[in-house]
């Protein structure tokens, strides 16, 4: 046990967050995301949702203030009328983190390509649609 580490952060995830360097990206994926098909480094968090995990990660993880965009979301597919209310939760979490951020929306296959190049994927049990998010790690100042 360690002090000040959110209890939801497992030793495996803590190791990955520690290994990541400036500019590395982390995918926090919903339950429908093809995590293992796109990335060899996958941490399973099946019993958790994205907002609670993202909140905990942002307590430890600075966002990349030097990049044009620090956050990437999988945009809504053409012809889909679904409105992802989870994005509002993400906005609130990002605001509370105090980290500067800019969001870029990627088409599904662009998102998949970026996920393939990410440092790791955290596969959650999130059931909300369009809940996949990529966050870019910055430096501690």
Burial class of residue 50 (count of CB atoms within 10 Å of its CB; 0-12, 13-18, 19+): buried
Residue tagged active-site, from 22, 66, 80, 82: 22
Which tokens sit at 26? 């982390």
Q: Is 69 tagged catalytic?
A: no
From 64, 90, 101, 119, active-site residue: 64
List of residues 6+ apart from 113 with CB closer than 8 A: none
Find out whether 100 and 65 touch, Cβ atoms under 8 Å: yes
For residue 42, what are its two tokens?
A: 């996958």
Query: Is-catalytic flag, 105?
Result: no
Q: Round to whole Å and give the CA distance between 29 and 126.
A: 8
The catalytically annotated residue of 90, 112, 119, 130 is 112
Query: Within 10 A of 7 (CB to CB), how many other CB atoms are there?
Result: 7
Catalytic residues: 22, 64, 112
């Amino acid at each position: 046990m360690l002090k000040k580490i959110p209890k939801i952060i497992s030793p495996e995830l803590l190791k990955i967050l520690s290994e990541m360097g400036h500019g590395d990206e982390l995918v926090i994926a919903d339950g429908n995301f093809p995590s293992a098909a796109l990335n060899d480094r996958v941490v399973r968090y099946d019993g958790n949702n994205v907002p609670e995990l993202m909140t905990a990660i942002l307590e430890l993880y600075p966002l990349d203030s030097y990049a044009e965009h620090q956050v990437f979301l999988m945009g809504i597919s053409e012809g889909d009328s679904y409105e992802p209310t989870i994005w509002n939760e993400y906005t609130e979490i990002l605001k509370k983190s105090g980290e500067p951020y800019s969001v870029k929306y990627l088409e599904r296959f662009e998102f998949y390509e970026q996920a393939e190049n990410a440092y790791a994927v955290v596969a959650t049990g999130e059931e909300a649609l369009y809940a996949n998010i990529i966050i870019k790690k910055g430096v501690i100042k």
